[in-house]
Amino acid sequence: MSNLTLDHVVKRYGDVSVVKDVSLAIAEGEFVSLLGPSGCGKTTILRMVAGLITPSGGSIRIGAREVTGLPPNKRNIGLVFQSYALFPHLTVFENVAFGLRRKGEVGEALKGRVTEALAMVRLAGFGERYPRQLSGGQQQRVAMARAIAPRPSVLLFDEPLSNLDAKLRDEMQIELKRLQRELGITTLFVTHDQAEALSLSDRVCVMHDGVIQQFAPPEEIYRRPATAFVASFIGKPNRMKGTVRDGAVLLGDDLRLRTDGKAGAEGADVDIFIRQEAVSLTPSGDPDANRIPGSVALRSFSGAQVQYVVRIAGGHEIVVEAASSGPASRLAQGDQVTLEVHPGDVLVLAEPPQSRDTRP
């Protein structure tokens, strides 16, 4: 096991910078997700760590060893692709053994390593099957076994669960987290699925346009987003524009929202974010809360939740989630309501910075 360090890594294609001066320090045994929309640079970073792409600048270290110029087979990494990349003409055993054979493992030592890896992913007894005889989840676990069998210093995952259906993806998240905790291998995981990143990771690195926006534990990313992009990308926020007046934010002429922190410079035009689940449709009467009158413009039932679009002063609309078994589950279009939002749930954020160094 080793830590992983990226120091001012850049990747350019001609005049286009895909990754812009990224620095990351990932601790030994830590599970870190690179999260962001398509084209943000997260997969490019993973492929540079893997040795599949050469950086235009900067350095990459695994432990104390500089690996920037080394080929993939000299880096002692395990890589799991989105497509699994199993050999269809080889058995499960031979798929897992492939990397070990290339390293010179033979005989009982090889058999023992393959058997151990298959047992770790709960596929003991599947060695003689072929990939076509396995489910999608089982194929993914074979790919994971192949990656861990050589006992790599770092595990790299490139959106490995995106081809699975929702139920199987949830199951595989649990399996992946269990396996990583058991092995204690430093892991870099690329995904565009925020729920996946938040549930699996020790820390999440949110990226946008080749720049790190925030690198922090999942709860901090969710509750204290560092930039407007993170606030809008994580969760399901309502985003509105307002003006700072007397330490609060005015939305038009008729609505004033208090915050529990510094709202910004007096008279500044700002963006505010209020998460859907932070809005209550059944006011508690908390004297400190913001109370917002409005009317139901749209109702949508989705099983455990009912989603409402509520029109408030100034033509703004706020989307609210309520439990489908709760007291606010039977509202209809046109009903008059009062929303309640605690000042601590009104986020006022600036635009993202051009670069962010995340090293200690």
pLDDT tens per residue, range 115-172: 999 998 889 999 999 999 998 889 988 999 999 999 999 999 998 888 777 787 888 8
From the list 318, 80, 35, the residue with the least C-alpha distance to 192 is 35
Q: Which residues contact 227 (CB under 8 A, 6 or more apart)?
A: 213, 214, 349, 350, 351, 352, 353
Tell me the C-alpha distance between 300 and 303, whole Å.
Answer: 10
Tell me the three state secondary structure of residue 177: helix
Please determine, for residue 112, whether its predicted confidence score (pLDDT) is greater than 60.
Answer: yes
- Is domain 236-349 annotated with CATH 2.40.50.100? yes
Higher pLDDT, 51 or 253: 51
Low-confidence winner among 5-9, 53-57, 278-282 (lowest mean pLDDT): 278-282
Q: Which conformational region is residue 174 in: left (phi greater than 0), alpha (psi within -120 to 50 degrees), or beta?
A: alpha
Following CA atoms 213, 16, 79, 129 in sequence, which dihedral angle do they give, to the nearest 10 degrees?
Answer: 120
The helix-helix angle for 92-102 and 136-148 (nearest 10°) equals 20
The whole-number average pLDDT for the span 7-19 is 95
Tell me the three state secondary structure of residue 30: coil
Low-confidence winner among 63-67, 120-124, 336-340, 356-360 (lowest mean pLDDT): 356-360
Q: Name the DSSP class of 280.
A: B
The whole-number average pLDDT for the span 275-303 is 88
Q: How confident is the model at residue 176 (pLDDT cuts 50, 70, 90)?
A: confident
Higher pLDDT, 281 or 23: 23
Tell me the C-alpha distance between 121 and 263, whole Å.
Answer: 50
From the list 344, 190, 191, 134, the residue with the least C-alpha distance to 259 is 344
The whole-number average pLDDT for the span 287-305 is 91
Q: Within the chain, what is the greatest distance between any pair of CA atoms? A: 79
The helix-helix angle for 107-120 and 166-183 (nearest 10°) equals 130
What is the share, in percent, of the chain residues with pLDDT greater than 70?
Answer: 97
Tell me the C-alpha distance between 160 and 80, whole Å.
Answer: 7
The whole-number average pLDDT for the span 320-333 is 89
**Regarding the domain delimited by 4-228, which CATH topology (the fold level of the hierarchy) does it fall under?**
Rossmann fold (3.40.50)
Tell me the C-alpha distance between 347 and 229, whole Å.
Answer: 12
Residue range(s) of every CATH 2.40.50.100 domain in the chain: 236-349
Please determine, for residue 358, whether its predicted confidence score (pLDDT) is greater than 60.
Answer: no
Confidence (pLDDT) at 214: 96
**Torsions phi, psi for 143 (to 5 deg):** -60, -40
pLDDT tens per residue, range 202-246: 999 999 999 999 999 999 999 889 998 999 999 889 999 888 888
Are 194 and 235 spatial neighbours (Cβ–Cβ below 8 Å)? yes
Residue range(s) of every CATH 3.40.50.300 domain in the chain: 4-228
Please determine, for residue 287, whether its predicted confidence score (pLDDT) is greater than 90.
Answer: no
Please determine, for residue 353, whether its predicted confidence score (pLDDT) is greater than 50.
Answer: no
